[in-house]
Structure 1
Amino acid sequence: MQLRIEESIIHQFYQNDGQVGLRLAPSALTEDDQLHDLLVELTDVYTSKPAKGYASFIKEGEEGEPGPFPEQLTSWYDGQLDFVEFSQQSAKLLLEELQNYNLLEAGFLLVTRYQHISTEYLLVCFLPVKEGVTINPDLAVDRSSQLDITKVQLAARIDLTEWKTAPESERYISFIKGRAGRKVSDFFLDFLGCTERLNSKAHTQQLVDSVQEYAKQSELENEQRQALSKAAYEYCDDQWKQGDTVKIKDLSEQFAEAYPAEKSFESFSKDFAEQNSRELVDDFPADKSTLRKLVKFQGQGGGVSVGFDHTALGERVHYDAATDTLTINGTPPNLRDQLRRYFGIDS
């Protein structure tokens, strides 16, 4: 990834007698290969997180507390605060939130301003730590603390360029959404003083439903329906990998070239949204996990988990709606080996 670090700093949060403490860095980090590699790895991990939310700062008159972070950010960006002071104020604010939520989180707060292509970003990220074992210079075993980059859950990226040029936008802040049942992202949004505006998961599900219904009403053959869904998946997946949004108009044009129809997909999706009392968004960031529904059937419950590609339906997999029975011809090799060993059948 081609990125240029402008300013970066790390502050430490530690546990002490059941309390969380803060150690502030007195100066910004010197840019070197190690810092650059860390940021590249972190941005790669952040980008690859399948579930992200999109937000903007809470405005006056809206429900919720905007908090001091947006004001601090403005003061720094306008030159009234230097970067170190801004980051220290942010760290103190995060400490207050940790104490308010009674959370004992040990780790490091990374605040980085960087440029990628022509866009300027501010990455605010809480880096968790893990205990590990290493070999010291005396060739003895020693314990050490290491950053656990892959386990990052508290992170937000502010598109500073969009924030300044299009303040009315509702998605110049992206953040990692917490796992089901955990409200870690809510806590981090409170710290930043922003609120989620765009539900990418819901909009992606609406797209999936629209594509499937469009293929059905267009009376396409089964193979054509599968090809249409696959084309939609590949387009959306490419947009997701590039960090770009899904544009209904572009997808509609692709469909029109491959499968000309009386009604365009763009027009159909608008009617479909109205019929189902849904909001239609012309472009939106896709949710990776929901996108898979375009090309894969999967589900679990009652101790059973099943998943297979759309192309397998009617070939290796058959479904009888009358009896609600799924028949699979030929099991995956690893599953077959487990079953044969369980029943004592020689391979």
Structure 2
Amino acid sequence: MNLSLDNSVVHHIFQDPDGNIGLRLAPEPLQVKLEVELLLEELTKVYNAKPAKGYASFVSPDDPRFAQEEGAEPVPLPEFPQLLDARLQDKVEFVEFSQQVARLLRNELEHYQFLESGFLLLAEYKQTADRYLLVAFVPVKDGVMVSPDLSVDRSSQLDITKVQLAARVNLSDYQTQMAAGHYISFIKGRTGRKTAEFFLDFLGCAERVNAKKQTEQLVQSVQALIRDESVSPELAKDIRKDVYDYCGEQWNAGEQVRLSDIDERMQAKGAPSVTEFAQARGLDMAEEFPAERTSLRKLMKFQGQGGGLSLAFEQDMLGERVQYDPRTDTLTIVGTPPNLRDQLRRFYGEDS
């Protein structure tokens, strides 16, 4: 992974026996050495692999939420963006900035009664041509370690795979406003809407781009283009795979999907423009957006489950090995997977 670490630090947030949230601040940054680089690389891989992410930007004074009603008290601006701006302007050192952020997080945890122990990790690093700030609340798990004297002791370990509260700010895009709506990405995990909103409030940002909706719109447009333009089965398969591969590459690289790039690839195959097709049918598609990996799979497969039945098959099989009659809602499959066929034959006593 082409990653260059500039600064990193870990602060401890814990719950004391009385149920209060305590904070233990690190007085200095972590020394940049192999173990720290491996930790950041592993955390970055886990973060990148999370299929569901949201995309946001910091709220500004002209945001509707700060509109004051007559006689109402003014709504204070979020603190995190102000702290970050001071850091980017070299008004504070990294450790002081991180300590201010840790105090802010502890206050938010107390306010929302989110009582969980863990470690707040902040890291400034470069990857490719961009600078990033990673903010992650890493939970802990009990483990066992073997000491140098070969005794066995209990220990607390970072549970990186269980990270659900994490965000990454593209500092390069933020400072240049190259991606005004989505220079912040964050994990949209299974911790619930309230928890996600708490973390966004802590960061002082608001979700701007719905990656899932935009990706589904792209998938639907490509599928409709193939159907309405009477694209041959061979070209249709090639188009779906090419769009799927391109979006997957952009997702893995943390880059935006660009309709202009897709159009170039389509036209190189002699296929119509997705942008022109969508515009002609009044479909609202953003020129650039982050891909959502789960939705991309619908380009390649039909799948679904319910009522005790689970099915999935490649789209190019429809009309060949798989036939569907929409009038009777009947699916006919010619040829079954070997392991399924063996189970069925044994059930009917064909192979005894």
What TM-score, normalized by structure 2, do the two folds share? 0.89
- The 1:332/1:182 distance shift into structure 2, 3 A limit, reads farther
- Tell me the residue number matched to 1:51: 52
- Tell me the residue number matched to 1:32: 33
* Most deviating of 311-320 and 206-215: 311-320
State the secondary structure of the residue aligned to 1:202: helix
- Tell me the residue number matched to 1:12: 12
Give the deviation of 1:52 after TM superposition.
1.2
Question: Which of residues 243, 265, 269 is equivalent to 2:254?
Answer: 243
**What CA distance in whole angstroms lies between the structure 1 residues aligned with 2:188 and 2:102?**
21
* Most deviating of 303-312 and 21-30: 303-312
- Tell me the residue number matched to 2:289: 284
| Residues 198-217 of structure 1 aligned to structure 2 (within 5 Å) | 198-217=209-228
Question: Which of residues 215, 221, 236 is equivalent to 1:225?
Answer: 236
Give the deviation of 1:141 after TM superposition.
4.4
* Most deviating of 101-110 and 17-26: 17-26
Structure 1 contact 55–174 (Cα < 8 Å) conserved: yes
* Most deviating of 120-129 and 333-342: 333-342
Residue 332 in 1 paired to residue 337 in 2?
Answer: yes
Residue 74 in 1 paired to residue 85 in 2?
Answer: yes
- Give a deviation string over 1:164-185, Cα, whole Å, max 9, x none: 1127711111111123854432
| Residues 259-274 of structure 1 aligned to structure 2 (within 5 Å) | 259-261=270-272, 264-272=273-281, 274=282
Question: Which of residues 113, 117, 139 is equivalent to 1:102?
Answer: 113
Residue 304 in 1 paired to residue 309 in 2?
Answer: yes
Give the deviation of 1:209 after TM superposition.
0.7
State the secondary structure of the residue aligned to 2:144: strand
**What CA distance in whole angstroms lies between the structure 2 residues aligned with 1:19 and 1:125?**
21
**What CA distance in whole angstroms lies between the structure 2 residues aligned with 1:237 and 1:27?**
39
Give the deviation of 1:45 after TM superposition.
1.4
Letter in 1 for 2:312: G
- The 1:59/1:337 distance shift into structure 2, 3 A limit, reads farther
- The 1:207/1:161 distance shift into structure 2, 3 A limit, reads same
Residue 133 in 1 paired to residue 138 in 2?
Answer: no
RMSD over aligned Cα atoms: 2.3
**What CA distance in whole angstroms lies between the structure 2 residues aligned with 1:10 and 1:341?**
58
**What CA distance in whole angstroms lies between the structure 1 residues aligned with 2:28 and 2:176?**
30
Give the deviation of 1:138 after TM superposition.
5.0
- Tell me the residue number matched to 2:206: 195
Structure 2 contact 143–155 (Cα < 8 Å) conserved: yes
- Tell me the residue number matched to 1:84: 95
Question: Which of residues 76, 91, 114 is equivalent to 2:125?
Answer: 114
Question: Which of residues 118, 131, 156 is equivalent to 1:145?
Answer: 156
**What CA distance in whole angstroms lies between the structure 1 residues aligned with 2:60 and 2:179?**
10
- Tell me the residue number matched to 2:2: 2
State the secondary structure of the residue aligned to 1:269: helix
Residue 159 in 1 paired to residue 170 in 2?
Answer: yes
State the secondary structure of the residue aligned to 2:92: coil
* Most deviating of 194-203 and 64-73: 64-73
State the secondary structure of the residue aligned to 2:208: strand
- The 1:334/1:97 distance shift into structure 2, 3 A limit, reads farther
State the secondary structure of the residue aligned to 1:144: strand
**What CA distance in whole angstroms lies between the structure 1 residues aligned with 2:163 and 2:237?**
36
- The 1:178/1:329 distance shift into structure 2, 3 A limit, reads same
Structure 1 contact 244–285 (Cα < 8 Å) conserved: yes
- Tell me the residue number matched to 1:42: 43
Give the deviation of 1:269 after TM superposition.
2.0
- Give a deviation string over 1:172-206, Cα, whole Å, max 9, x none: 11111123854432221110000001111110011
**Equivalent pairs: percent with the same residue?**
50
Letter in 2 for 1:51: A
- The 1:253/1:330 distance shift into structure 2, 3 A limit, reads same
- The 1:215/1:343 distance shift into structure 2, 3 A limit, reads same
- Tell me the residue number matched to 2:72: none
* Most deviating of 52-61 and 305-314: 305-314
* Most deviating of 115-124 and 298-307: 298-307
Letter in 2 for 1:268: F
Give the deviation of 1:286 after TM superposition.
0.5
Structure 2 alignment gaps of length 5 or more: 66-74
**What CA distance in whole angstroms lies between the structure 1 residues aligned with 2:347 and 2:165?**
43
State the secondary structure of the residue aligned to 1:133: strand
- Give a deviation string over 1:325-344, Cα, whole Å, max 9, x none: 22333443454566677778
Give the deviation of 1:14 after TM superposition.
1.4
Give the deviation of 1:102 after TM superposition.
0.9
**What CA distance in whole angstroms lies between the structure 2 residues aligned with 1:169 and 1:146?**
37
Letter in 2 for 1:284: F
- Tell me the residue number matched to 1:295: 300
- The 1:68/1:345 distance shift into structure 2, 3 A limit, reads farther
Structure 1 contact 153–184 (Cα < 8 Å) conserved: no
Give the deviation of 1:48 after TM superposition.
1.8
- The 1:330/1:20 distance shift into structure 2, 3 A limit, reads farther
Structure 1 contact 178–184 (Cα < 8 Å) conserved: no
Give the deviation of 1:213 after TM superposition.
0.8
**What CA distance in whole angstroms lies between the structure 2 residues aligned with 1:33 and 1:9?**
15
